[in-house]
Amino acid sequence: MENASEFKDRVCLITGGSSGIGRGIALEFGRLGANVLIADIQENSKIGKYHDTDITTTTSEEIINNGGKSEFIKCDCSKDFELENLVKLVEKKFKRIDILVNNAGIHIPGSIEEQSIEEWDKVMSVNLRSIYALTKLSLELIKNSDYGRIINIASVNAFRGGLGPAYAPSKSGVLNLTRDLAITLGRHNITVNAICPGYIETPIQDYNTPESIEEFLATLPIKRLGKPKDIAHAAKFFASKDSEWITGSYLVVDGGGLAS
């Protein structure tokens, strides 16, 4: 297993790890021998209309079935007291966090004419505020690692509008938060980077229609949609020793969509 020894027994905490991109990242780190902690609002994987239609195992079950180590911790990342309890549980068992993947995110469809202020706040709370809150609460545990890595999941929509008035601003905020954290935490040998996925085959795409998916696919230079493993491979790079001098940066993983 390539790079297995590098990640063996590393403590990897992934928010939103039950489904979609988070599940893909978790499965990859589980395969590489890390202790994978799945923090999510529900343990069962979401089943989508177009993608992930036939998942029968939880993320932790899948990792354990393949010989890895994982456990699920129920956590609503929009609630500070649940984040505090999450960090306390990790501290009690492991005393450190080596790799923090801030992946939890939501999308509520609707324009400014349709989306309520409460819905805007909810998207911001999960997509941006929770990254700040969990990173702040986890900081001492990350400092306890000799290997601190923080990986934030943003989006190609960080560079453009679309998907409503909350989603794109929340994701552009993730990029600037990533840069600011990198400046502050570099002296602790902690790197902070972001990944900007394009269309990834996950249940978050349920708002689309088959026609809109086909139309979008036709615009991509690489003629396939993204898979969670594509983001997992980018996360593996940012978590590896190969990226030890990369911080405050981002990687677009979108099949060439932004280049078009």
| Residue 235 backbone dihedrals phi, psi, to 5 degrees | -65, -40
Nearest in space to 194 (alpha carbons), one of 147, 164, 159: 159
Question: Please, is 227 exposed, middle or buried when counting C-beta atoms within 10 Å of its C-beta (0-12, 13-18, 19+)?
Answer: middle
The answer to whether the beta carbons of residues 260 and 215 sit under 8 Å apart is no
DSSP for 220-249, written as a single string:
-SSSS-B-HHHHHHHHHHHHSGGGTT--S-
The answer to whether the beta carbons of residues 182 and 193 sit under 8 Å apart is yes
Nearest in space to 174 (alpha carbons), one of 226, 244, 249: 249
Residue of 50, 132, 167, 250 with catalytic role: 167
* Residues 6+ positions from 252 with CB-CB distance below 8 Å: 156, 196, 198, 258
The answer to whether the beta carbons of residues 172 and 131 sit under 8 Å apart is no
User: Quick one: DSSP state of residue 46?
Assistant: P
How far are the Cα atoms of 22, 147, 149, 186 from residue 46, in angstroms, in the given order?
11, 32, 27, 36
**Sign of torsion over alpha carbons 162, 229, 123, 44:** positive
Residue 132 annotated in active site: no
Residues annotated catalytic, as ranges: 167
